[in-house]
Amino acid sequence: SLNSDDFVSLVTPLAAGSDSPIVADLQRSLSQALESYSQLRLVLLGLFGAGLLLSIVGGTLIARTVTRPVTELAMGAQRIEEGDYTTSVVIEQRDEIGRLADSFNRMGKGLAERDRVRSLLGKVVSPAIAEKLLSREIELGGEECEVTILFSDLRGFTALCETRPPHEVVSLLNAHLTRQTEAVESNGGVVNQYVGDAIMALFGAPLRHADDPRRAIRAALDMVTAVDSLNVELAAQNKEPLAIGVGINTASVIAGNMGSLSRLTYTVVGDGVPLAARLESLSKFYGTPVIVNQSTREQVDDFVFRELDVVCVKGKCIPSTIYTPLGHAGDVNPHRLEELATYTQALADY
């Protein structure tokens, strides 16, 4: 090291193998010796920096071509999760992500179609029955279960149709059936079918509760109340009041898909179904809006009932005791309970 500068030296004898003390000392500045390497290092550092910058820019551009469509797909999936199937994911790339976006859009259209079918099916039949049909493979047949069947019918509907124009009849019928359906569904039942002005409702299939007979009676009383409410509106319009009859029976039936593989319906079949319809017809004869069979009466202990008669309905040989519900035990006033006790004693004497 001389004057703060490093030198490289090569010391070698001038004559090989001689004892001559004369040697050659070659010296060169270290910085000059490494100048070409320093320049190469600067070039390499420059190339490395340029490559790194190019890699960052290129990686960012490539990442954006991947992350942007993936973000669009994620936002589209979130919209579908929220129930919005109408917005499509627009990705112009024709690579694997582009094909994925096309499949995603087709899936959204399929879900929208399924939702539309489910919504339409839920309006054609009860939503509970629609879920039952959509949750399993469509096959004919069913399972045996205990169900409480409710039939309701408008009194004098045929005569009503004769005196009013069709559009007015349809409007009145829709208003009536809407309130009747609300009474059934609010008590956990399902409307199985509409037959003109009549309703067939089920408690225990496909939705089951431990107190289905009680729910059916509660629904029947709510249906009577709904008709009374509708009659107040009709009276204000100077129109004739409506009246309904309701029959309720609890029995073991087969509940499932009936019909053909091309056209079927979810319903119940068994001896107890027509009996409920017969009870509904008897309500007019006995002058009471609701009649329940003994099988239903025996499973409900928190309602007050009045025994009506022991009858053999049309098509049946075994007599049945029929009752009419007066209301929940806590809602019936004491004076009416006294009348009921006197009536019960008179019926027993009779």
pLDDT tens digits for 28-46?
888 888 888 888 989 999 9
Q: Which has the closest alpha carbon to 147: 57, 281, 297, 255?
A: 255
pLDDT of residue 127: 64
pLDDT of residue 250: 94
pLDDT band of 312, cuts 50, 70, 90: confident
Residues 72-124: tens digit of each pLDDT: 778 887 877 777 777 777 777 777 777 777 887 888 887 777 777 666 655 55
pLDDT band of 207, cuts 50, 70, 90: confident
CB of 179 within 8 A of CB of 229?
A: yes
pLDDT at residue 229 above 80? yes
d(CA 221, CA 217): 6
Degrees, nearest 5: CA angle 21-22-24: 135
pLDDT at residue 293 above 60? yes
pLDDT at residue 240 above 60? yes
Token pair 């075994």 is found at 318
Q: Which has the closest alpha carbon to 246: 212, 293, 179?
A: 293
Q: Which of 100-104, 205-209, 272-276 is most confident?
A: 272-276
**Which residues, 6+ apart, have CB-to-CB distance to 340 below 8 Å?**
304, 306, 326, 332
pLDDT of residue 288: 93
d(CA 118, CA 113): 8
Residues 130-158: tens digit of each pLDDT: 665 566 554 566 788 899 999 999 987 77
pLDDT at residue 125 above 60? no
pLDDT band of 22, cuts 50, 70, 90: confident
Q: Kindly tell me the burial class for residue 151, based on how many C-beta atoms sit within 10 Å of its own C-beta (0-12, 13-18, 19 or more).
A: buried
> Is the peptide bond between 206 and the residue preceding it cis, with omega within 30 degrees of 0?
yes
Proportion of the chain above pLDDT 70, given as a percent:
90
pLDDT of residue 4: 81
Token pair of 311 as six digits: 């009858």
Lowest mean pLDDT among 35-39, 267-271, 313-317, 330-334: 313-317
Three-state DSSP class for residue 147: strand
d(CA 247, CA 201): 11
Q: Kindly tell me the burial class for residue 203, based on how many C-beta atoms sit within 10 Å of its own C-beta (0-12, 13-18, 19 or more).
A: buried
Token pair 């609300």 is found at 182
CB of 180 within 8 A of CB of 223?
A: yes
Three-state DSSP class for residue 18: coil
Token pair of 15 as six digits: 């004559």
pLDDT band of 6, cuts 50, 70, 90: confident
At 284, which amino acid appears? K
pLDDT of residue 183: 94
pLDDT of residue 35: 85
pTM higher than 0.85, yes or no?
Answer: no
DSSP H stretches of helix in 125-265? 127-134, 157-163, 166-185, 212-236
Residue range 320-344: mean pLDDT, rounded: 91
Residue range 181-207: mean pLDDT, rounded: 89
Query: What is the rounded average pLDDT for all residues in the chain?
Result: 84
Q: Which has the closest alpha carbon to 244: 157, 126, 149, 332?
A: 157
Q: Which has the closest alpha carbon to 226: 218, 236, 215?
A: 218
pLDDT of residue 129: 61
Q: How far is CA 299 from CA 23, 45, 54, 55, in A?
A: 127, 92, 82, 79
Residues 242-270: tens digit of each pLDDT: 999 999 999 999 887 777 766 777 788 98
pLDDT of residue 119: 66
pLDDT band of 292, cuts 50, 70, 90: very high
Q: How far is CA 130 from CA 228, 253, 257, 323, in A?
A: 31, 20, 12, 33
